[in-house]
Amino acid sequence: MIRLKNQTQLDGIRRSCRLLADVFSLLEPMVVPGVSTKELDEAAENAIREGGGEPAFLGYMEYPASICASINEVVIHGIPDATKLVEGDIISIDIGIKLDGYFSDRALTLPVGRIDDQKQKLMDITLECLELGISKAVAGNRVKDISKAVFEHACSAGYGIVRDFCGHGTGIELHEEPQIPNYIGRGPNPRLKPGMVIAIEPMINQGTFEVEILDDDWTVVTTDRKPSAHFEHTLAILEDRTEILTRSRT
């Protein structure tokens, strides 16, 4: 069932998303060589709690941290630890918040100091995939219009598009229907309606689209160990426009 949100719910989700955007604004300047992913996790958890929220990922299916911190070949679900960021890395940070019962979800990939042109291009294309997907996320279109826009852009740049994980509805629960794949496959193709809140999240690899899960049962890596990037926003589909709820204000 796809849940359409009423005004009260949209306002609650908006507040959750605004707190999440603020948490990212705090975290972004911390991404420098020498900082550990655990330090980023602690800073995020503190900021979320100071804002009155809870980390939505902590304890979700027994996930052990507040953020996912995924370096280079780690696609998603990297568990924060003592690993320190190194100049030339790229790191994807994914965070979810529950505030007054309402969920928000966002991810972005950042450079650590100076990075090579290939990594920069991968990040640029992945962000463009998200932006193109968002441009199709309007009332009256269908889910596959988003999928197609993301897929075709990444494909024409020669990148691998992760298929094993998708975007999703969100807001009242962390993960709701519909699924928003980043490729065009079989499966349902619902129409986008006013009141829908969705998270679009392209995960794009420099090499193969294939991924595997490490022995910790969480960390998703590319099978060829080439780098991967991930950008995600939570959006509200409204009658006459689409609002990017997790966009930073600064």
Nearest to 125 by CA among 198, 70, 182, 69: 182
Interaction between residue 176 and Co ion (CB under 5 A): no
Stretch 104-163 residues interacting with ligand MF3 (CB under 6 A): 105
Contact partner, 77, from Co ion, ligand MF3, none, Cβ < 5-8 Å per class = ligand MF3
Contact partner, 63, from ligand MF3, Co ion, none, Cβ < 5-8 Å per class = ligand MF3
How many other β-carbons are positioned within 10 Å of the β-carbon of residue 42? 15
Closest distance to ligand MF3 from the beta carbon of 116 (Å):
27
Q: Closest CB to ligand MF3 among 32 and 246? A: 246
Report the residue from 105, 128, 145, 176 that binds Co ion according to the rule CB under 5 A: 105
Closest distance to ligand MF3 from the beta carbon of 67 (Å):
9
Beta strands in the chain (DSSP E): 54-55, 67-71, 74-76, 90-99, 102-111, 160-161, 167-169, 176-180, 197-200, 203-205, 211-213, 220-222, 228-230, 233-237, 242-244
Tokens linked to 92 = 């994807």
Q: Tell me the residue number closest to ligand MF3, measured at CB.
A: 57
Closest distance to ligand MF3 from the beta carbon of 232 (Å):
6
Residues 6+ apart with CB under 8 A from 214: 220, 221
Report the residue from 94, 128, 145, 176 that binds ligand MF3 according to the rule CB under 6 A: 94
Nearest to 137 by CA among 150, 151, 124: 150
Binding site for ligand MF3 (CB under 6 A): 57, 60-61, 63, 68, 77, 94, 96, 105, 168, 175, 199, 201, 232
